[in-house]
Amino acid sequence: MAQRRQIRRPLSRVRATRRPLPAAGRSEPVWFFDLDNTLHDASHAIFSHIDLSMTQAVMETLDVSEEEAHELRKRYWQRYGATLIGMVKHHGVSPSEFLHRSHSFDIRPLVRADKDLRNRLSRLPGRKILLTNAPHNYARTILSHLGILHCFDSLWAVEDMYFHGDFKVKPSPSLLRHVMAMEGVSAHRSVLVEDTSANLRGARKVGMRTVYVRHTGTPFAKSHRGRPLFIDLQVNSVSHLLLQRRSLRRG
């Protein structure tokens, strides 16, 4: 039986990722992929379950009504990029306990994605790193269920975004600089692939190239007329990225 691939946590990968790359790999891009509505269709069913589970977790943790919990969840998500951060900052909750409580449902039956995603990701040249504001176990479960865990060199989740005494999640430029430094990659070789335009704007501020994956179900997404200057390439899916990647401007 083949040994199951285990992706180590980012901070334990620093030495490995900073080793000199072979000459052939130095010109290839390093792809930083978002997860929800980028690699799979989270709006199909998962987001509605997360909303309910997150609201329930806020209710139980703070002993508030469902209406108040819903408003707090939404407000913190919009303000900080993750409800977790608002709960930690304003209520002193345990991050690990809150993440466990707010994602305590079976994700696998709800996952919907391109059936050929594994093959298409494998054909995309360059290192691939997952960069998501979602929890680590949630991300691993989805990648494993889709059969694409082996495609990624490392996985950055919200638990890994605590440094210098604070949580910093996408679209924080300081987070993006931190991740690139820890992965040993320069901004001009880095490409962020995302469905959320605000995160792409943050990536452009630090010199990364950007790919916008259009998804109508992305919460609070804003439609654009034409392509904003901070977006280098716009695609409809990862499959489309494979076909259009040569159109991406070189760093």
Q: Which residues have CB under 8 Å from 130's CB, separation 6+?
A: 32, 33, 35, 139, 143, 152, 154, 155, 156, 157
Indicate whether 117 pLDDT > 90: yes
Note the pLDDT of residue 228: 81
Note the pLDDT of residue 18: 43
| Cβ-defined contacts of 203-210 (< 8 Å, 24+) | 203/171, 203/176, 203/230, 204/230, 205/173, 206/173, 206/176, 206/177, 206/180, 207/251, 208/32, 208/176, 208/180, 209/29, 209/233, 209/248, 209/249, 209/251
Q: Number of helices (H) and strands (E) in the chain: give both, helices first.
A: 10, 8
Q: b or e along 7-22 (b: 16 or more beta carbons within 10 Å of the residue's beta carbon)?
A: beebeebeeebeeebe
Mean per-residue pLDDT, 207-231? 76
Note the pLDDT of residue 224: 53
Indicate whether 219 pLDDT > 80: no
Read off the pLDDT band of 51 (50, 70, 90).
Answer: very high
Q: Which residues have CB under 8 Å from 228's CB, separation 6+?
A: 197, 201
Q: Which residues have CB under 8 Å from 17's CB, separation 6+?
A: 153, 154, 182, 183, 184, 185
CB atoms within 10 A of CB 133: 26
Pull the structure tokens for residue 162.
Answer: 């605590």
Mean per-residue pLDDT, 187-210? 96
pLDDT above 90 as % of the chain: 74
Note the pLDDT of residue 136: 96
Note the pLDDT of residue 247: 78
Note the pLDDT of residue 13: 45
Pull the structure tokens for residue 242.
Answer: 């494979």
Read off the pLDDT band of 245 (50, 70, 90).
Answer: confident
Note the pLDDT of residue 250: 57
Note the pLDDT of residue 5: 45
Measured at the alpha carbon of residue 129, what is the angle toward residues 174 and 22, in degrees to the nearest 5? 105
* Closest alpha carbon to 220 in 79, 52, 54, 67: 79
Indicate whether 176 pLDDT > 50: yes
Write down the mean pLDDT value for the chain: 87
Mean per-residue pLDDT, 32-55? 95
Alpha carbons within 13 A on the beta-carbon side of 218 = 23
| Cβ-defined contacts of 75-81 (< 8 Å, 24+) | 77/219, 78/220, 80/167, 80/169, 81/133, 81/169, 81/170, 81/171, 81/172
Question: Is the pLDDT higher at 173 or at 243?
Answer: 173
Indicate whether 14 pLDDT > 50: no
Whole-prediction pTM value?
A: 0.87
Tracing tokens 């989805």 back to the chain, one arrives at: 142
